[in-house]
Structure 1
């Protein structure tokens, strides 16, 4: 299936979604699928294979570290879409691009931060980590984006095949 949008819009959306895919993949979060086929107001999306897994934190704090690591990974995935789009085409970014991604990042951050100021600082720090991840894995982002522009939608298997190429392995993050 091929997306029915203008090529420039498809390419910026493809890089946006590819940023999410590569950030998830690098951090060991499974990706179920990715698409740039428009669905109403949604220009593209990524489905994570591990979505909605719950982490229990006991009254004694057991599980808190695991929750913190999960939150960091999820926020990095959230912000990597807009960051990849901006890296690919800085002029393509609009105020509303990535709004849902940042809303999700704030929701994740609020589960481990105590105030709005802490949430902002935490997300800013994780954006810096995401930028480094994307810089180190940019060939993988390009490969996924090109696959999305070609096919419109990539399955989990197609994503895994694209990302398994030895030339796409970047530096440690």
Structure 2
């Protein structure tokens, strides 16, 4: 099973936009081969003529793997996937026609039914797209190198990709596990933040106390010390500080009286 050498159909002379599209096209193949640990001989965007007499904007030469059908399909379709992502207005369908035809031929050869071949091809297309998206830094770096140098040897391409991988691996450092003291401090901080009392909490406690006193026949005066004490106790059961509860209760009563006074004056 020989991986396809990525013919890229293009008109001559090749424009800058075509060279850029070809660079990303071949970079997609290059990264796919590198991900499969295949040997990369060289990759280029120098225009030449393929075996069918068609002009192509570049090609890649990789080592042969006769036992990796999914890898061959993904490698073949990674070029059009990278070109489509980088240069969606370029002629992806025309440029990648040989790749798609080769992938379709491989899928048909190794499938018993047309439905199975189509499913295998869809799988390879999705995997190639995912590989390009997840390895876009690698694809972009190889494409820029190709655009600048036209040709990369296998060692040059592998060196660039290995360097990117080492930087990404070194940049990731596992976060240390928090100590018990840090966890306890965080819990105290979270609890204190969640227990900031507001007017709604006080009003709910006042309502509960008023309903209980209505049923039992106890005084309902908001100035009654026993009423204040009951409200503070109810708020304390919910985890609120007693001093804050009492201050909030006093502010609530004072504000409510001011509103009632304003209503009487205005009426």
TM-score (norm 2): 0.53
Larger Rg: 2
User: Would the alpha carbon gap of residues 7 and 167 (structure 1) be closer, same or farther in structure 2, given more than 3 Å must change?
Assistant: farther
Equivalent residue number for residue 25 of structure 1? 34
Equivalent residue number for residue 167 of structure 1? 167
SS at 1:47 equivalent:
strand
Equivalent-residue separation in structure 1 for 2:38 and 2:78 (angstroms): 14
Matching residue within 69, 89, 92 for 1:91: 89
Equivalent residue number for residue 154 of structure 2? 156
Equivalent-residue separation in structure 1 for 2:136 and 2:150 (angstroms): 20
The 8 Å contact of residues 21 and 86 in structure 2, kept in 1 or not, is answered as yes
User: Would the alpha carbon gap of residues 110 and 168 (structure 1) be closer, same or farther in structure 2, given more than 3 Å must change?
Assistant: farther
Report deviation, 1:76.
0.1
Select the structure that is richer in helix: 2
Give the count of matched residue pairs.
150
Q: Which moved more, 1:134-143 or 1:94-103?
A: 94-103
TM-score (norm 1): 0.81
Report deviation, 1:110.
2.4
Gaps of 5+ in 2: 1-12, 50-54, 170-267
The 8 Å contact of residues 148 and 154 in structure 1, kept in 2 or not, is answered as yes
Equivalent residue number for residue 8 of structure 1? 17
Gaps of 5+ in 1: 55-66
Query: In angstroms, what is the RMSD of aligned CA positions?
Result: 1.6
SS at 2:37 equivalent:
coil
